[in-house]
Structure 1
Amino acid sequence: MEYILLLLSFILIISGLIGSLLPVLPGPSLSWIGLLVLYFTKGIEMNYWILGIALILTILITILDFVIPAQGTKRFGGSKYGVWGTNIGLIIGILFPIPFGFILGPFVGAFIGELIYKRDDSKRALKAATGSFIGFLASTFMKFVVCMAFLGFYIKEVIVNWNIWF
């Protein structure tokens, strides 16, 4: 049973790491669940501090994942249309098989949204789309760093408890 929990935990953490780069999967949430499953294995004492801090971090990163691209659009002069365009572009970018569609989607969506808002101001629309893109990259980077930290905790616990299982 311990090997199944170890494998499931590893799969969840790796899926979370992949999900931190691909917006289809909830990366930090999957990685946190992977940590939780790890602490159910025999030999590892439940560490509520690590799990609690990791949960708070996961919730915070998940909220920021929605806020940062929209704020990037606003900071660069975008309107609500650009914010909505960012979110719609992200969803469409995920669904289309275009390489890097999930990266280009928010940019194109914000640009089109701003053009719908003010058709004659393409310079402002491009600036808002750039803000959306920068916000998306910052959000993705934060998720990746958190998921890598969770992977680090997993590896540390497995190395420390290696003799118990093998």
Structure 2
Amino acid sequence: MEWLLFVFISLAVAFIFWVAVFVVFPLLMGASYEVTQDDKMKKMIKFARIRKGDKVAELGSGNGKLVIEFAKLGAEIHGYEINPFLVLLSKWKINREGLKEKAFVHWKNFWSVNLGEFDVVLTFQVGYIMNTLEKKLKREARKKMRVVSNNWKFPTLKCLKQEDKVYYYEINSSNK
């Protein structure tokens, strides 16, 4: 009977840990994990207009799907993810694809990263952080930065292109 209690407590602790790592913590820091649909990914790639040598950031890189696709296009891409399991999965997939020289996933909160060095920023966040994220991007952009957002608009940035809830913006010295 004691082993049954041990199993029950172990499962309860595992469940609480899972909810904390995959639901609560991500929602407090940004969006929860959701895979970008293939049709949306194609639109994000089209809007980003990747050129060889571009440096790209993905804010909340999830399973590494976009990181891998953008690296295949020749970009140096850095994904920032707070879920350690998704970071490990992404790194494994990057290694399997042979993209270790172009694709990097960091176990790091993107709020602590200076995004000014990037040519392109990709995001699939949640509505309530878009205002704060817009301020961060405007503050840190040092050159013309192309920003592609999946599903959520920025509150004051002028959207230059929009298709199926994928939004394209440019931030430069004239619209900071």
Shared topology, TM-score over 0.5? no
Larger radius of gyration: 1
Q: Higher strand fraction: Structure 1 or Structure 2?
A: 2
TM superposition score normalised by structure 2: 0.29
Q: TM-score if structure 1 supplies the norm length?
A: 0.31
- Bigger fraction of residues in helix: 1
